Chain A
Amino acid sequence: MKIGVYICECGSNIASTVDVEELAEQAKEFPNVEVSRVYKYVCSDPGQVLIKQDIEEKQLDRIVVAACSPRMHEPTFRAVLEDMGLNPYVLEIVNIREQVSWVHNDKAKGTVKAASLLKGAVLRASLMHPLERKKVGVTPNALVIGGGIAGIQASLDLADMGFDTTLVEKTATIGGKMSQLDKTFPTLDCSQCILSPKMVDVNRHPNIDLLALSEVVEVDGYVGNFKVKIKKNPTYVLADKCTLCDDCVPVCPVIEHDEYNQGLSPRRAIYIPYPQAVPASYLIDPNSCLGIDPLICSKCKDVCGPEAIDFDMKPEIIEKEVGAIIVATGYEPYPIENIGEYGYGTIPDVISGLDYERIVSASGPTDGTIRSPSDGKIPKTVVFVHCAGSRDPSKHLPYCSKVCCMYATKHALQYKHLVHDGTAINFFIDIRTAGKDYEEFYQRAAEEDQVIYIRGKVSEVFQDGDKILVKGADTLTGETVELHADLVVLATGLMPSAGTKEIASLLNLSVGMNGFIREAHPKLKPVDTAIAGVFVAGTATGPKDIPETVSNASGAASRAAGILSQDELEIEGTVAQVDEDLCRGCGLCAEACPYSAIEIKAINKYGHALRVAFVNEAMCKGCGSCAAACLNGAINQLGYTDSQILALIGALGEE
Chain B
Amino acid sequence: MVQYSYFPGCNLKTNAKGFEETAIAVSKKLEAELVEMPSWNCCGTVHTLTSDNIMKRIAPIRVLSRSRKHVETLKESPNQVVTLCSMCNSTLKIVNNEVKKDQEILDKINYQLEEDEETYETDMEVKHFLEILRDIVGYEKISEKVVNPLEGLKISPYYGCMLLHPEEAKIDDEEMPDVLESLVESLGAELVMSPLFKFCCGSYHIVDQEDIVSSQVEKIVEAAKRRGANALVVACPLCAYNIDQQQKAMARNSVGKSPIPVFYFTQLMAIAMGEPVKINYFNDHFINPEPLLKELGLIGRKKAK
A positions within 8 Å CB-CB of B: 340-341, 343-344, 346, 460, 462, 464, 469, 471
The complex places the Cα of A471 from the Cα of B175 at a distance, in Å, of 14
User: Is B173 on the interface with A (CB-CB < 8 A)?
Assistant: yes
The complex places the Cα of A471 from the Cα of B197 at a distance, in Å, of 13
- Residues of B167-191 whose CB lies within 8 A of A: 173-176
For B198, the closest partner residue in chain A by CB is A460
For A464, the closest partner residue in chain B by CB is B195
B positions within 8 Å CB-CB of A: 173-176, 195
Asked whether A460 lies within 8 Å of B195 as measured between CB atoms, the reply is yes
The complex places the Cα of A377 from the Cα of B173 at a distance, in Å, of 32
Q: B173: which of A340, A460, A464 is its contact (CB, 8 Å)?
A: A340
For A462, the closest partner residue in chain B by CB is B195
The complex places the Cα of A344 from the Cα of B174 at a distance, in Å, of 12
Asked whether A340 lies within 8 Å of B175 as measured between CB atoms, the reply is yes
Query: Top 3 nearest A-B pairs by Cβ distance?
Result: A340-B175, A462-B195, A341-B175
With both chains docked as a complex, state the minimum distance between the C-beta of A518 and any C-beta of chain B, in angstroms: 30
With both chains docked as a complex, state the minimum distance between the C-beta of B194 and any C-beta of chain A, in angstroms: 9
Asked whether A340 lies within 8 Å of B174 as measured between CB atoms, the reply is yes
The complex places the Cα of A462 from the Cα of B156 at a distance, in Å, of 15
The complex places the Cα of A30 from the Cα of B257 at a distance, in Å, of 97
Asked whether A469 lies within 8 Å of B175 as measured between CB atoms, the reply is no
The complex places the Cα of A343 from the Cα of B176 at a distance, in Å, of 7
Chain A neighbourhood of B176, CB < 8 A: 340, 343-344, 346
The complex places the Cα of A462 from the Cα of B199 at a distance, in Å, of 13
For A342, the closest partner residue in chain B by CB is B175
The complex places the Cα of A341 from the Cα of B173 at a distance, in Å, of 10
Chain B neighbourhood of A343, CB < 8 A: 175-176
The complex places the Cα of A379 from the Cα of B215 at a distance, in Å, of 33
The complex places the Cα of A464 from the Cα of B197 at a distance, in Å, of 13
With both chains docked as a complex, state the minimum distance between the C-beta of B294 and any C-beta of chain A, in angstroms: 31
Chain B neighbourhood of A462, CB < 8 A: 195
Given A340-B174, A344-B176, A460-B195, 6 more pairs with CB closer than 8 A: A340-B176, A343-B176, A460-B175, A462-B195, A464-B195, A471-B195
Chain B neighbourhood of A471, CB < 8 A: 195
The complex places the Cα of A385 from the Cα of B173 at a distance, in Å, of 22
With both chains docked as a complex, state the minimum distance between the C-beta of B224 and any C-beta of chain A, in angstroms: 12
The complex places the Cα of A460 from the Cα of B197 at a distance, in Å, of 12
The complex places the Cα of A624 from the Cα of B176 at a distance, in Å, of 52
Q: A469: which of B173, B174, B195 is its contact (CB, 8 Å)?
A: B195
Asked whether B175 lies within 8 Å of A344 as measured between CB atoms, the reply is yes
The complex places the Cα of A343 from the Cα of B195 at a distance, in Å, of 11
Chain B neighbourhood of A341, CB < 8 A: 175
Chain B neighbourhood of A464, CB < 8 A: 195
With both chains docked as a complex, state the minimum distance between the C-beta of B274 and any C-beta of chain A, in angstroms: 35
For A461, the closest partner residue in chain B by CB is B195
Chain A neighbourhood of B175, CB < 8 A: 340-341, 343-344, 460
With both chains docked as a complex, state the minimum distance between the C-beta of A340 and any C-beta of chain B, in angstroms: 3
With both chains docked as a complex, state the minimum distance between the C-beta of B101 and any C-beta of chain A, in angstroms: 18
Chain A neighbourhood of B173, CB < 8 A: 340
Most buried by B among A341, A343, A464: A464
The complex places the Cα of A462 from the Cα of B176 at a distance, in Å, of 10
The complex places the Cα of A471 from the Cα of B173 at a distance, in Å, of 19
Chain A neighbourhood of B195, CB < 8 A: 460, 462, 464, 469, 471
Chain A neighbourhood of B174, CB < 8 A: 340
Most buried by A among B173, B174, B195: B195
The complex places the Cα of A445 from the Cα of B176 at a distance, in Å, of 35
The complex places the Cα of A418 from the Cα of B51 at a distance, in Å, of 55
With both chains docked as a complex, state the minimum distance between the C-beta of A348 and any C-beta of chain B, in angstroms: 15
The complex places the Cα of A471 from the Cα of B196 at a distance, in Å, of 11
For A340, the closest partner residue in chain B by CB is B175
With both chains docked as a complex, state the minimum distance between the C-beta of B248 and any C-beta of chain A, in angstroms: 27
The complex places the Cα of A340 from the Cα of B165 at a distance, in Å, of 14
The complex places the Cα of A9 from the Cα of B180 at a distance, in Å, of 76
With both chains docked as a complex, state the minimum distance between the C-beta of A9 and any C-beta of chain B, in angstroms: 54
Can you pick out 16 interface pairs between chain A and chain B where the beta carbons lie within 8 Å of each other?
A: A340-B173, A340-B174, A340-B175, A340-B176, A341-B175, A343-B175, A343-B176, A344-B175, A344-B176, A346-B176, A460-B175, A460-B195, A462-B195, A464-B195, A469-B195, A471-B195
